[in-house]
A and B are shown apart, each in its own frame.
Chain A
Amino acid sequence: MTVNDDEMLELLGRALRTVEPVPDHLIHAARGAWAWRTIDEELAELVFDSALESSGVRSEDTARQLTFRSPGVEIEVMVVEGGGRRIVGQLVPAQEVTVELTGDDGAVEERRTDRLGRFTFDHASAGQVRLTVHGESGAVSTEWTVL
């Protein structure tokens, strides 16, 4: 009559999987992520995100800051809210190159950085995005990140 702990968990797991299976659209999205493998580009990893530093306290006034790092270039990004989401960034070291912003719907926007390596995207969409820097020595893409 009594079930042991493992059996109880097994039963709960079965119940949860029965009533809340992984939604089809997420399986579909997971399969589709295949198309976004980074093969030729170098990957710039997210090494700092002010959203993870703040001790759980949401600060409304401060812009979120992120740093992506690859061996060749560092991409500093600030997300500014208010009247649309603006992404303001700078490449370190500074370089005049093309920067792309890709949305998870595949939409791509392009900007040319200025002499100081700065770039701005106005009205960035919600959801996952990634930045690609087309430098002299090839392309560097950031990790996909929800901004």
Chain B
Amino acid sequence: MAEQYDVIVVGAGVSGLTAACLLSKQGMRVVVLERLERLGGCCSNYDVRGFRPEVGAIFVIGHEFYYKLFELLDLRLEDYLDWKVIDPVYYVYFEDGSAYPLPRDIDAMAEVVRSISPEDVDGYYRYCRDMGKLFDVYLAFLRRPLPALQDLTSIAKLARLAANRELLYAIPVNLKLLFRNMDRCVRGYFRHPRIQLMFGWENLYAGLPAHRCTGLFTAMAHFGRMGYYYPRGGMIAIPTALARIAEGLGAEIRLGAEVKSLIVKGGEARGVRLADGTALTSRAVVSTAHSRVTYLKLVGEENLPSWAVRTIRRQPCSIPAPLIHMGLSRKLEGIGAHMSLVANPREQVDNIWEDYYDRGLLYRPADGAYLLVCPTFDDPGLAPAGKDVLSVFYIAPYRLRYHDWDRIAVDWAWEVVRFLDHRCLPGLADAVEWLDSVPPTELERRLNVAEGAFFGIEMSLTNMGPFRPNYRSRLVPRLYLAGQCTNPGLGVPGAMISGVADAAIILNDWTRRLG
């Protein structure tokens, strides 16, 4: 019997939609199935009474990559997305009440460094020089014309694309960063604890404490100087643009279509079964869900060898990124940037990590470190006129030793709000018109990500590269994985790269393995 579709994509996040666009462009019959009633998965906005906070992803680094993706589709990015550069990159609130904007301009930032610690200015310029070399590699790579989609699986062609003079210059910096932890790298450039904190907190995105995180993340603060971008209309504008393109190319997108399981015949993935009992057949299935969800729930443990079940279950998740979303009845004076960091001394934050790993404890709100995101700072259209949206990200264990997240989530959120009101945003507690506390357990339910970890699998050296789940499943033929759990992981561009890789691999497999 002929299959209904060539490829079924499970999940309408950016990785799934990217794969759907590229495969549809090749003339394949593609359907994208999304459990929720909105696009984007973790890169999305939801709407409550006109307030539209971000679900997960909050910005993108360097929009050059998106131009490249649109080149593959023979389209112009400007026709689909309108970017705004985030400047100042951050605002930092310290424990004594002082606050500093971190401007995008390198010399203006040097002045901020000078005002805190004059002896760190030289270190700052050295840091910019080193990290600039990495950024040059990235730009040189993007400036070259990409080969055809099917050639992207050729290691030789990719190596030729990546090989450039900038890469040669950056090798020593790369090696230094790769094999040192982030804590050591930051201390190598800066002496003052506050400057170390300003340049050394992006380990949060890796879901690891600075002493366990690869030094490559040290470059993120510099990449912020080069450009953090925000699409007008919120992060959901990215999946919306991709969905528009995919549908224009003939793909079918079904929202509210929950996939219950994969149809596995003779050990191969031959389609999916939906929650309403409908069965859809295909020649290949792309799953963008967390690898634990894909293998243990959708494929089913009975279809996998026991060692694989054990390995998948044991692979550590990144930290959950629980959130508190708020709709504010008025604009607050204290909010000075799209993103703000409420910082505490390094030792205090290290204690949180120990609590997180060893004891499963929740700290006092005053001891925590928080990332505040105010999307209405750059796009007022994301809240009713004269009002603001504010989201608070924090670190917390998935399993609490003495509490149940579902019981304490709202009280905990209000404690955090009162702390922020006292520390840096006077009037916040009174201005809260609507509050949504999303602890790790709720994040898991809403986004279907294991342990609420929307960064996917931990980004440590032993869980990167060949140690992340493969794009082409080695356990279930005709199954392909994309999203945060695959390579390269981390963020919206990472997810999109996995979508491009899946499309290229499927195209190459089409006659050899999928016929």
Do A and B come together as binding partners?
no
